[in-house]
Structure 1
Amino acid sequence: MTTYTDKGEKPDAGRFLCFDHVTFWVGNAKQAATFYCTRMGFEPYAYKGLETGSRDVVSHVIKQDKIFFVLQSVLNPSGNEVEQEMGRHLVRHGDGVKDVAFTVEDLDSIVEKARERGAKIVREIWKEQDDDGIVRFAKVQTYGDTTHTFVERSQYNGIFLPGYKAVANTDPLLSDLPPSGLKFVDHIVGNQPDDSMVPAVEWYEKNLQFHRFWSVDDEQIHTEYSSLRSIVVTNYEETIKMPINEPAPGKKKSQIQEYCDYYGSAGVQHIALNTSDIITTIVNLKKRGMVFLNIPDKYYTNLRERLKHSKVNVTENLDVLQELKILIDYDDEGYLLQIFTKPVQDRPTLFLEVIQRKNHTGFGAGNFKSLFEAIELDQNKRGNLN
């Protein structure tokens, strides 16, 4: 494992502030939004569709603290360019993440620098406005069919973005469910086909002036059957973390390769959501019916032995963590707690992570082997391990 301390020169373009929102292209946005609300604790927040004058695409925005998901679907079969693109995307990839948006300052300089460095500008700078102000945008292409939208919203005071209307929660079920306590997007992971990780990383370094933050290779992360390599890139302020993974050769098919096979290309593998109390969060998410990977008890037996020789003091009850199947990774300075859902659609592609950090900035390298072994059990059930 490598942690990088050199940020390089401060970017000469504008600033990337944080994750703004994540856009999913799905077959039925209304039903997908309901799934994330009932299972993951989101609430309906904003809407754009036929009733607001959007004739081609419907958008359901759901929110949890600082996390915004936008679920989008095609509205009619007219076959215009937007609908053809969304239709092709859905057939090829299934439900998945189309766009990861960043809140930015000085959009003009960011776009100009990206253009100079060779980035593909999918859509040049445009603006949208309503009675609450103006938002300026631009869109660039990253790995696979995934895009990044830059959002400059300093002149906007509306609920989400121009053209959206606020939505009240009218689902009586949601008010009866326990709160999830998810706070913000911790990181978003992109899976790449073999030998595509470094080019993807270099794209962020070159075009967005991100820098390397953390990495592991297949010598460190492997099971008997499969392995991975991963490099995390981040903005100068280190508020946006984007791990980039690729499979490494092994005896059987890596879960990274399984993702690429079923998604049809590189794409977003999982979204990590941060909580300040993972035990309460997972207890409540399980009450909501969310399904997580199963971790064998042997992991916790080994963990207890290792912790006897560690300087770190895990304050949570290990018996409770074992019962909930929450993983622990640590160093001499602190630790993190994490757990992973099973895929949130029929294809074994996108899943979610819940993470709590206690003075630890890593990404669970000590848990990758156990995580892979748990996923391999499911891969084998799906007939995809060989």
Structure 2
Amino acid sequence: MTAQQIAFVELYASEQKAAVDYLASALGFTEVAESEDEASQSVLLRQGRVQLVVTTGPCTERFIEAHGDGVADLALGCDDVAASHATAIAAGATDLGTSRGNPIVSGFGSVRHTLVPASADVSPPAGHAWRPVSADLAPAPRIRLLDHVAICVEHGSLDQYADFYAAGFGLGRYSSEFVDVGGSSMDSVVVRGGSDDVTFTFVAPGSATGTGQLNAFLDRNGGPGVQHLALLVDDIVSAVSEAGQRGVDFLRTPASYYDLLAERFPDMPERIAGLRTTNVLADRDEWGYLLQLFTRSPYPRNTLFYELIQRRGARGFGSANIRALYEAVERDRLTAR
């Protein structure tokens, strides 16, 4: 069975108010509802078709102690939940029981997948006693979709995870890439569902003993986990400008990068100045081009961060694109020492 969509993403946070404020005030999400029981307090936020649940409470303590603030659940919408559950278990997933009536299976590291019925509508996760909240007036929505989820795993494990997600969730291999920058390297494989609504980019250090950003992430995160969530926008220059004014801290790009963009993108010279001003990166594939920029992590252990991405026809993840991400984060890591 094939996973049809990412129904919601659940983040475990050590400080709920700070985590919610960042997503709402800085990234423009709207607080929709809240729920509470003996083990947890959750806030549901939404923008476009992206649903994020921020949870704190006793049920989160073990995860946060081991990994810090981050994604604990990538809920997958399935056309047949029972059949999808059976397929995942047969492929090697661990049955983690149920949550609010929905089956849960293991994914990677401590991240799980709650399996829910696929839906054309964006609706609150079932099973919670959600109470609507009257949030402050949100800015005009910029984010439309969750473009992809980047997942950092151990050196040498990419084939294992790609095979598992193909057999268990119907996510086929889409592309792969190896990047070597300044003695530090990254290997990657992208798996994607047939509808393109579920895309996981698995990244791993090229060496088990290296000191690059991915090795550092695995150390800080206590093993595999979600490195970043990529959020699709229609106009990235405006989105980045607005988010920056609201407090989002983005990575910086060297000025020399933009001196070469006019050669790489001769059909869009008028946009180079805007990209330079906002530090936005660009890449091209055979279908078109894409623009992207990455935030610094807003969380105490410097784990999860976010990406804004705009696509103009581009469907994949070209080598220049992946290299730009790696180099940008690597520069930031080295200069922060």
Contact 2:30 2:135 in 1 (8 A): no
Contact 2:3 2:76 in 1 (8 A): yes
Q: Does 1:55 align with 2:9?
A: no
Greater alpha carbon shift after TM alignment, 286-295 vs 154-163: 154-163
Q: Give, in whole Å, the separation in 1 of the partners of 2:105 and 2:34.
A: 24
What is the CA distance between 1:202 and its match in structure 2?
1.4
Please name the residue that 1:70 is paired with.
53
What is the CA distance between 1:315 and its match in structure 2?
7.6
Find the partner of 1:89 among 63, 71, 85.
63
Give, as a single letter, the amino acid of the residue that structure 1 aligns with 2:40: V
Q: Does 1:214 align with 2:158?
A: no
Please name the residue that 2:20 is paired with.
33
CA deviation digits over 1:101-141, x for unaligned, max 9?
Answer: 111111111112222333211125x7x5xxxxxxx521110
What is the CA distance between 1:193 and its match in structure 2?
1.5
Alpha carbons of 1:205 and 1:34: their partners in 2 closer, same or farther (altered >3 Å)? same
Please name the residue that 2:326 is paired with.
372
Q: Give, in whole Å, the separation in 1 of the partners of 2:174 and 2:131.
A: 38
Give, as a single letter, the amino acid of the residue that structure 2 aligns with 1:40: L
Please name the residue that 2:32 is paired with.
45
Q: Give, in whole Å, the separation in 2 of the partners of 1:229 and 1:155.
A: 34
Give, as a single letter, the amino acid of the residue that structure 2 aligns with 1:104: C
User: Where does the alignment leave 5 or more consecutive residues of structure 1 unmatched?
Assistant: 1-12, 75-82, 129-135
Please name the residue that 1:119 is paired with.
93
Contact 1:180 1:282 in 2 (8 A): no
Please name the residue that 1:10 is paired with.
none
Identity of aligned residues (%): 27
Please name the residue that 2:117 is paired with.
152
Give, as a single letter, the amino acid of the residue that structure 1 aligns with 2:33: A
Q: Does 1:190 align with 2:173?
A: no
Q: Give, in whole Å, the separation in 2 of the partners of 1:199 and 1:215.
A: 14
Contact 2:250 2:293 in 1 (8 A): yes
Q: Does 1:277 align with 2:251?
A: no
SS at match of 1:222: strand
Contact 1:229 1:245 in 2 (8 A): yes
CA deviation digits over 1:271-312, x for unaligned, max 9?
Answer: 00001111111111111111100000111112212334xxxx
What is the CA distance between 1:163 and its match in structure 2?
2.9
Q: Does 1:161 align with 2:126?
A: yes
What is the CA distance between 1:153 and its match in structure 2?
6.0
Q: Does 1:141 align with 2:128?
A: no
Please name the residue that 2:218 is paired with.
260
Q: Give, in whole Å, the separation in 1 of the partners of 2:71 and 2:122.
A: 26
Give, as a single letter, the amino acid of the residue that structure 1 aligns with 2:82: D
Contact 2:255 2:276 in 1 (8 A): yes
What is the CA distance between 1:367 and its match in structure 2?
3.1
Give, as a single letter, the amino acid of the residue that structure 2 aligns with 1:64: Q
Q: Give, in whole Å, the separation in 2 of the partners of 1:325 and 1:87.
A: 37
Give, as a single letter, the amino acid of the residue that structure 2 aligns with 1:372: Y
SS at match of 2:140: coil
Q: Give, in whole Å, the separation in 2 of the partners of 1:211 and 1:332.
A: 20
Contact 1:226 1:250 in 2 (8 A): no
Give, as a single letter, the amino acid of the residue that structure 1 aligns with 2:49: K
Give, as a single letter, the amino acid of the residue that structure 2 aligns with 1:47: E
> RMSD value over aligned CA atoms?
2.3
Q: Give, in whole Å, the separation in 2 of the partners of 1:62 and 1:290.
A: 17
TM-score normalised by the chain length of structure 1: 0.81
User: Where does the alignment leave 5 or more consecutive residues of structure 2 unmatched?
Assistant: none
Q: Give, in whole Å, the separation in 1 of the partners of 2:264 and 2:142.
A: 30
- Bigger radius of gyration: 1
